[in-house]
Amino acid sequence: MEAHRAAGATGKYQRPVSRLLVETGNVEEIADFYQFPLHYYRENGDKLVIRRSAFVQQVNKLLKAYRRVAVSQILGTVTEVLALNNFTSLASVRWTLLHQQDNTRMGELYSSQTRYLITETEPSLKVDGLFIVDESAKIREAVRARKRPLS
């Protein structure tokens, strides 16, 4: 897979995933973008190999947290694509989570970085590895901030 194909493929996958997370919450469709078992790397360095059912549970938890902090839109920006070989690339995506501040403005809740190991499979590209860089701490803080009374 050439680097420009990887960049296009990553964008192709991330835009539908972010839209599905916010608009439909269909975790089964989201899981279709991934290859299982999935190699999942946590912020603390732990590596897990997870099956589809565990991934679906994790995405359900994430969607619940997004609802708690009133996420109304997610923007994904591919910040880097590194071709590792002809069939595999590492893509970095900056996710920006927005909420409605008032009737006319959106405000940023937080942004986080995630890395994806994208592998060419038949008949399409799949996410084979997921590297959480900094989202867990940021979403926990956003949830805590929503619970605090306004000063």
Cα dist from 60 to 25, 30, 63, 92, 105, whole Å? 8, 11, 5, 23, 28
Would 47 be classed as within a structural domain? yes
**pTM score:** 0.79
Greater confidence, 123 or 49? 49
Q: How far apart are CA 89 and CA 5, in angstroms?
A: 10
What pLDDT is recorded for position 24? 67
What pLDDT is recorded for position 30? 87
Taking only the tens place, the pLDDT of each residue in 37-94 is 999 999 898 999 999 999 999 989 888 888 888 888 888 889 999 999 999 999 999 9
In which domain, by residue range, is 99 found? 3-142
Would 150 be classed as within a structural domain? no
Q: How far apart are CA 39 and CA 28, in angstroms?
A: 18
Would 148 be classed as within a structural domain? no
Residues 119 and 88: beta-carbon distance below 8 Å: yes
Would 132 be classed as within a structural domain? yes
Would 149 be classed as within a structural domain? no
Closest CA to 94 of 145, 151, 138, 57: 138
Would 96 be classed as within a structural domain? yes
The residues near 109 (Cβ < 8 Å, ≥ 6 apart) are 69, 71, 97, 98, 99, 142
Would 133 be classed as within a structural domain? yes
What pLDDT is recorded for position 67? 86
Q: Is the pLDDT of residue 142 over 50?
A: yes
What is the count of structural domains for the chain? 1
CATH number at residue 91: 3.10.450.50
